[in-house]
Structure 1
Amino acid sequence: MAKVKISNIIRELRFANGQMTQAALATKAGVTRQTILALEARRYSPSLELAFKIARVFDEPLETVFQFPED
């Protein structure tokens, strides 16, 4: 299985926002805590819709929260 190339700073943003729990972020984004865990561990790439929802929770641009390396 290919490694997920999309990286993110979700964990850092959670801690910068009052040490938000994975469960709290999951509720705000409309997903399960396990989804947030998988995203943070880079085992899962979010859908575009989910990526936007998470970025909006933190009031950050999509490109700040998620990064995709140029080849």
Structure 2
Amino acid sequence: MTVFKVFYQHNKEEVVVREHTQTMYVEAQTEEQVRRYLKDRNYNIEFITKLEGTHLEYEKQSEHFNVEQAE
């Protein structure tokens, strides 16, 4: 499995404001699986990036690093 970092806004209906961007971490096999996992939430997904190597290790140090499992 791979860890993906998702950048999103809480409401699909609102205009994207960079200062309101939230992040979350999802473990899945592909970006498509992450999108399917989140499709029922009212999120406006801005960007999804795969975390690996030193970038993943850096993110793990964050107090906000909490990984959800995509099913």
TM-score w.r.t. length of structure 1: 0.24
Of structures 1 and 2, the larger Rg is shown by: 2
Greater share of residues in strand:
2
Greater share of residues in helix:
1
TM-score w.r.t. length of structure 2: 0.24
